[in-house]
Structures are given as structure tokens and as C-alpha cells.
């Protein structure tokens, strides 16, 4: 039986399975009516993979648009067909450690254009690029503006460089690894990747598939405890609370007259919106500090402060 679950599960995705496979395994445990994930991780990668249930799927974009933090291991001196350790080695260039690696890493900080790799989930004519790549086809791609917020040196042992990266959405760490290799006068590929942060969310808040299976064997109520609130991605936003008479009007998409002295310095501000009983209703925008415009709303039928039936 499918259950009306609403909330966010922060999964620690294991190595060796795709994000869609991880979603499928979680769905078998939770049996939700609706589910999806926010932020694809390659099979090689591990770490935070948000699984969204029910109403939470409406707010996926807020997670997708957040900065990401990764721990990456880069093998210097070898280039592969895929840009990671799953591909075949196609080039070897000697790497000398007599180079200021920290200065090279620092040169990547800031906005820059990055070319998406062929081995990626980006689509061309509705087909993922990696399917073209597997057939030996090269598709013309446009570079995309990204932002490396920070990049820190951790260690360098046996030509394996470990770094800590905070970056904007759409950043491909495999491409970054290859670019780092080039700037060091060599070549490189990504040998390991772990996502440890999405916005303010941290790896310590996650749960593994094995642990979920154990909870499911104990009691379904334990599974509900693993779910985070629908508004998890935007907990850092300011919030407003409506009087009871305005709840239905807001959920019907109507403008609400209100004055918010706490955010009066911002002409147009996105906010979390709660009902009289502190139920999350959705997101809104304060206009000229006089009106609240609905932006993204939960379903009126799910206007309850719970994550399951």
C-alpha cells in the first residue's frame, strides 16, 4: 500500500549505485505515493542525497540551487576516458611535486566558465550525454558559469591530491579535477568523491540504506522519525505566520495584506509561510513590505502538520 508521506530524507548514498537506484531502494522501504531526489550523485560518489516525499518534491529547487560541499580525491598524472576512476587510462604525464599546489588551487576560486563533461546526465535531444559518449560520439556543449566558493588543500600522498571544495550548483568536480591536473602541468582524473554538505545541511544528518532497513524491520514509526520537515532546505529564510482567516486565501494563491517589521529593510524578500497552528504552508514573497505574494504552496489536502497518514 502506498502511503501519503511528506518530508525529506537525507540519505548517505553508498558507492556503486546510481542516484535513481538509491531512490528505488528507499521507495521500497517507505512505500510513498510520490518521491524524487534533489541533486544527482554519480555511482562513484557517496554522501548526501536528499530524497523528497510527497509535498516536499515541490520544494526540490531550493536544494538543487544550494551550494554543495565535497571531499575529493584526485589522481595526478593519469587521464581517463570518463574523467574518473571508472574509465580507461588514455594519457599519462609525469607529475612533479615541486609545484605550489596551494597557489594553483587558490587560482580556481571565484566565478568561471566550465565545460560539462560528456559523461554526465545532461541531456541532448532528450538523451543523456553519457549514452552518446559510450557510443564514441562527441556532442557540442556550451560552457556554464559556475562559482568555486572555496577550495582547500588537505593532503598529497602518492600522487593523490585530497581537497575540500564548496561550489555552486552545476559544478562538475570531475572536470575540476582534470582542470587542476592541467594547471599543475600534468593531467588528472577524479578517483573518489564524497558530498558532505548541501547549503546548511551536513553529512552528520544523513542515514544509510542499511540503517533504514533495520528501522523498517523494527517499526514503521521509526521511519517517520527519519524524515525531516518539508521546509528543510529553506530553514535559514525569514518566516511569517498568518492569522487563521488568511490561511485559505494564501493557499488559494491570493495576495495577503501584511506588515513585517522584522524584514522592513528588504523591498522584496522570500519567506517561509506558516499557518495559525504553525503548519508550513509554503513560500511567499513580501512586496514593498505591504503584501505577501504566494510563490510555492503545499496542497490544501495536505494542510496538516504531519509527514504521513
- As annotated, the active-site residues are 42
The phi, psi pair for 258, rounded to 5°, reads -165, 155
Q: Are 283 and 234 in contact (CB under 8 A)?
A: yes
Domains present along the chain, CATH in parentheses: 7-65+201-225 (3.30.2350.10), 68-198 (3.30.2350.10), 237-302 (2.30.130.10)
pTM: 0.90
Burial tier of 164 (Cβ tally within 10 Å: 0-12, 13-18, 19+)? middle
From residue 227, give the alpha-carbon distance in Å to each of 6, 42, 206, 309.
Answer: 8, 24, 10, 14
153 beta partners: 163
Tens-digit pLDDT string for the chain (309 aa) = 788 899 999 999 999 999 999 999 999 999 999 999 998 999 999 999 999 999 999 999 999 999 999 999 999 999 999 999 999 999 999 988 888 999 999 999 999 999 999 988 888 888 988 889 888 899 999 999 999 999 999 999 999 999 999 999 999 999 999 999 999 999 999 999 999 999 999 999 999 999 999 888 776 677 888 999 999 999 999 999 999 999 999 999 999 998 776 665 555 689 999 999 999 999 999 988 788 999 999 997 766 444 334
Amino acid at each position: 500500500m502506498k502511503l501519503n508521506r511528506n518530508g525529506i530524507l537525507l540519505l548517505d548514498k553508498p558507492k556503486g549505485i546510481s542516484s535513481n537506484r538509491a531512490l528505488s531502494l528507499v521507495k521500497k522501504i517507505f512505500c510513498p505515493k510520490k518521491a524524487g531526489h534533489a541533486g544527482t550523485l554519480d555511482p562513484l560518489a557517496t554522501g548526501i542525497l536528499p530524497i523528497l516525499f510527497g509535498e516536499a518534491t515541490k520544494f526540490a529547487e531550493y536544494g538543487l540551487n544550494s551550494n554543495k560541499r565535497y571531499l575529493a580525491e584526485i589522481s595526478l598524472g593519469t587521464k581517463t576516458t570518463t574523467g574518473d576512476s571508472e574509465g580507461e587510462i588514455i594519457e599519462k604525464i609525469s607529475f612533479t611535486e615541486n609545484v605550489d599546489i596551494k597557489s594553483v588551487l587558490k587560482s580556481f576560486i571565484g566565478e568561471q566558465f566550465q565545460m560539462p563533461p560528456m559523461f554526465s546526465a545532461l541531456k541532448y535531444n532528450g538523451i543523456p550525454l553519457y549514452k552518446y559518449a559510450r557510443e564514441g560520439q562527441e556532442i557540442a556543449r556550451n560552457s556554464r558559469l559556475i562559482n568555486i566558493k572555496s577550495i582547500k588543500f588537505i593532503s598529497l600522498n602518492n600522487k593523490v591530491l585530497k581537497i575540500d571544495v564548496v561550489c555552486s550548483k552545476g559544478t562538475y568536480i570531475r572536470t575540476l579535477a582534470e582542470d587542476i591536473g592541467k594547471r599543475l602541468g600534468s593531467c588528472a582524473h577524479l578517483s573518489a568523491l564524497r558530498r558532505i554538505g548541501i547549503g546548511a545541511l551536513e553529512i552528520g544528518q544523513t542515514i544509510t540504506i542499511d540503517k533504514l532497513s533495520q528501522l523498517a524491520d523494527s517499526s514503521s514509526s521509526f521511519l517517520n522519525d527519519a524524515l525531516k520537515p518539508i521546509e528543510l532546505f529553506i530553514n535559514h529564510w525569514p518566516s511569517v505566520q498568518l492569522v487563521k482567516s488568511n490561511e485559505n486565501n494564501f493557499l488559494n494563491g491570493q495576495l495577503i495584506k501584511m506588515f513585517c517589521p522584522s524584514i522592513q529593510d528588504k523591498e522584496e524578500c522570500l519567506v517561509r509561510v506558516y499557518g495559525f497552528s504553525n503548519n508550513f504552508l509554503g513560500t511567499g514573497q513580501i512586496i514593498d513590505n505591504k503584501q505577501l505574494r504566494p510563490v510555492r504552496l503545499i496542497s490544501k489536502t495536505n494542510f496538516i502538520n504531519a509527514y504521513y497518514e
